[in-house]
Chains A and B, each alone.
Chain A
Amino acid sequence: MAEKKALTGNEAVALAMKQIEPDVVAAYPITPQTDIVQYFSNYVADGKVKTEFVTVESEHSAMSATVGAAAGGARAMTATSSQGLALMWEVVYIAASSRLPIVMPVVNRALSGPINIHCDHGDTMGARDSGWIQLYSESVQEAYDNLIQAVRIAEHPDLQLPVMVCQDGFITSHGLENAEILDDETVKRFVGEYKPRFSLLNPAKPVTFGALDLQDYYFEHKRSQSEAMKNAGKVILQVAEEFKKLTGREYGYFEKYMLDDAEVAVVALNSTAGTAKMVVDELRQAGSKVGLLKPRVFRPFPAKELAETLRGLKVVAVMDRADSFNAYGGPLFNEIRSAMYDTPGPKILSYIYGLGGRDIGPADVTKVYDDLLEIKKTGRCDSILNYLGVRE
């Protein structure tokens, strides 16, 4: 039986972790992910989970121990944010190339320097080429739902790839929302029992993890890793389909909001999409044909599907809560523009916003739509790369 509960994003994720009940969790607390580890500690202290909980001395060791545990045949998880993810970086790549189905909630937060504790996507965008699947979540509900689905995606025999489930630091992680929570049994049944294909702990079949791979094999191993990523799209949709049967909640590569007949649209990840939906409602009432596309899956990048969806539009703004410092456009913008290259389609602009937790309100998003409508009308566009909400 599902139940409505008022929860913060961190509480919801910790609760999902409790319901998944991984064999091993190795974690180190860092703002704004700290609560996840604290809530989980309580579940452990109260004997609510069978999980072996390893309170490591750093995020580098958190990811290292999680890799060790997964190689040992355990269903293994950790969680992080920002500097923690940056410190893990080296081992984040190793987890993916070792094809270990680790699931990791990441609470998005700006990277140093300067030091800052608030939300932006610089951390996970920095890890976008590490070989992990990346799912983004608009709300507490989505963070919870994505985490449960992530287990099935990661462990799918065709994939065996780690998954990051992202949510916005403080906005989602600490904001209280009503979410529908499944009962423990339902979650357990959905994720099923984990049967690893290889384990260090099978004496009848010893295995080697992390061998030296020289010129004669490395490339093939990398190639097979990309093939797995290519397969991931299909699996993500299959799991979403099953999840829909269970909950009625629908998940795909992205969500379309008032997009089908729209002329201009915004593309935005995570909680900003929620703000944009409100703006879309207002502008629609005023008679403007505006829409929103909210990506859920950023890795693998659903290029073909995105291009098909966006091709009919006139002007599109891709909003990035991270800069890539290429002096050209944000990371999501670059991927979307590249995906659209072969399609005669809309003019596409980059808007970088909200770095270091700078507030993004309805007025800012309205300004973006106003720009787009103006460009559509006049055909004139002064600048592809725009910074929104910053003192210039």
Chain B
Amino acid sequence: MATLKELVKKPGILSPGHRLCAGCTAPTLVRQVLMAVDTPVVIGNATGCLEVSTTIFPQTAWRCSWIHNAFENAAATASGVEAAYKSLKRQGKIKDEFRFITFGGDGGTYDIGLQSLSGAMERGHHMLYVCYDNGAYMNTGIQRSSATPRGADTTTSPAGEKVPGKPANRKDLTAIMAAHNIPYVAQVSPSHWNDVVTKVKKALDCGGAAFINAIAPCHRGWRYPIEDGIEMARLAVDTCYWPLFEVVNGEWKLTYKPREKKPLVEFLKPQGRFKHLFAPENEHIIKEMQEQVDRNWEALLKRCGEA
């Protein structure tokens, strides 16, 4: 494993001067992912914050080949690029060793892009798909997605007089991807950069389709102080809301175990989107959310042979 000092010396593939919000954790995560890349790379990008902010014509923040096609088809598009690579390489028309990484937000991955992602993973294209999960459709103004946690106040699941935020639980996309029986699946957080780089390296070298789900706090949607993005990501991990693990050829392994499992409220409290849950009539929701996290964590420990 390289040291952070060595890694930051690598010329960044995502340059400064992109137009994502100050304090957004998505570009931090993307940089961490790209630190693991040692070959030429083609980046695919679904429509969303990362895409619209980094390539406003005639400028681009990407120091590599990059393609955006539409909202829901980033994985299918990358399948095509990878197929072109295979074909041209076989014919001797390309000599370089390429890697393919696709980024999509949770909306473009959990919801509208799920079919295209599932197809690409099933076909086993040699590519890594990274979902940066900020828990809502942020680019269009914070609408709920199937990654939005229960209880969250969003513009399409507003906390109102009768309905206290999003009624349903989030979808467990990482497990769904693991069920595709692809060689590599993992969950990461930008608060644990070393873990991110290690996992991306494994994913890129797994020889087939790989999926990494990354939590990517958004201060606009989550409503916490701008500078606290990485802290939010860390709290998600330490409360076991967002555990770090990997599934290598079907084998589940926990890659980080918090020394002390913090209560979920520590993650919820600083976020404006959960404010209404702290009203007395809604406290039962927090309790139920905690129970859900506990159940998921126990199940994960079992799957990883740790309990």
Q: Contact residues of A with B, CB < 8 Å?
A: 23-24, 26, 50-52, 54-58, 60-61, 64-74, 76, 90-91, 94, 200-203, 206-214, 217
Q: Which residues of A contact B91 (CB under 8 A)?
A: 23, 50
Q: How far is the CA of A23 from the CA of B81 in the complex (A)?
A: 11
Q: How far is the CA of A201 from the CA of B66 in the complex (A)?
A: 10
Q: How far is the CA of A203 from the CA of B120 in the complex (A)?
A: 24
A209 x B68 contact (CB < 8 A)? yes
Interface string of B54-91 (1 = CB under 8 A from A): 01111010111111111011001111111111111011
Interface size grouping (class) on chain B: 35 or more
Q: Which residue of B lies closest to A26 (CB)?
A: B80
Q: How far is the CA of A57 from the CA of B113 in the complex (A)?
A: 12
Q: Which residues of A contact B87 (CB under 8 A)?
A: 23-24, 50-52, 69, 74
Of B76, B94, B120, which is within 8 A of A201 by CB? B94
Q: Which residues of A contact B123 (CB under 8 A)?
A: 54-56
Q: Most chain-A Cβ atoms within 10 A of its Cβ — which of B79, B90, B118?
A: B79
A211 x B69 contact (CB < 8 A)? no
Q: Which residues of A contact B65 (CB under 8 A)?
A: 200-202, 206-208
Q: How far is the CA of A211 from the CA of B122 in the complex (A)?
A: 28
B84 x A74 contact (CB < 8 A)? yes
Other A-B pairs, 13, CB within 8 Å; known A57-B115, A64-B116: A24-B80, A26-B80, A60-B73, A61-B76, A64-B76, A69-B84, A200-B42, A200-B66, A201-B81, A206-B63, A207-B65, A208-B66, A212-B57
A211 x B73 contact (CB < 8 A)? no
B80 x A211 contact (CB < 8 A)? no
Q: Which residue of B lies closest to A51 (CB)?
A: B87
A214 x B84 contact (CB < 8 A)? no
Q: Which residues of B contact A201 (CB under 8 A)?
A: 42, 65, 81, 84-85, 88, 94, 96, 98
A65 x B80 contact (CB < 8 A)? yes
B167 within 8 A of A: no
Q: Which residues of A contact B81 (CB under 8 A)?
A: 68-69, 71-72, 200-201
Q: Which residues of B contact A24 (CB under 8 A)?
A: 80, 83-84, 87
A52 x B86 contact (CB < 8 A)? yes
A65 x B76 contact (CB < 8 A)? yes
Of A51, A58, A72, which is within 8 A of B85 by CB? A72
Q: How far is the CA of A156 from the CA of B67 in the complex (A)?
A: 23
A72 x B57 contact (CB < 8 A)? no
Of A68, A70, A73, A214, which is within 8 A of B88 by CB? A73
B83 x A54 contact (CB < 8 A)? yes
Q: Which residues of A contact B60 (CB under 8 A)?
A: 208, 211
A-B contacts, 7 listed (Cβ < 8 Å): A50-B90, A54-B80, A69-B80, A69-B81, A70-B80, A76-B80, A211-B55
Q: Which residues of A contact B85 (CB under 8 A)?
A: 72, 201
A64 x B69 contact (CB < 8 A)? yes
Whether A72 contacts B80 in the complex (CB less than 8 A), given A23-B87, A61-B116, A64-B116, comes out as yes
Q: Which residue of B lies closest to A209 (CB)?
A: B67
State the 4 A-B residue pairs at the shortest beta-carbon distance, nearest first: A68-B80, A72-B84, A57-B119, A65-B80
Q: How far is the CA of A208 from the CA of B123 in the complex (A)?
A: 26
Q: How far is the CA of A227 from the CA of B90 in the complex (A)?
A: 36
Q: Which residue of B lies closest to A67 (CB)?
A: B69
B21 within 8 A of A: no
Q: How far is the CA of A186 from the CA of B17 in the complex (A)?
A: 52
B238 within 8 A of A: no
Of B57, B66, B67, which is within 8 A of A68 by CB? B67
Tell me how far the C-beta of B73 lies from the nearest C-beta in chain A, rounded to whole angstroms: 4
B285 within 8 A of A: no
B300 within 8 A of A: no
Q: Which residues of A contact B116 (CB under 8 A)?
A: 57-58, 60-61, 64
Q: How far is the CA of A73 from the CA of B67 in the complex (A)?
A: 13
Q: Which residues of A contact B51 (CB under 8 A)?
A: 212
Q: Which residues of B contact A54 (CB under 8 A)?
A: 79-80, 83, 123
Whether A208 contacts B42 in the complex (CB less than 8 A), given A61-B76, A69-B84, A94-B69, comes out as no
Q: Which residue of A lies closest to B89 (CB)?
A: A201
Q: Which residues of A contact B83 (CB under 8 A)?
A: 24, 26, 52, 54, 65, 68-69, 72, 74
Tell me how far the C-beta of A52 lies from the nearest C-beta in chain B, rounded to whole angstroms: 4
Q: Which residues of B contact A55 (CB under 8 A)?
A: 123
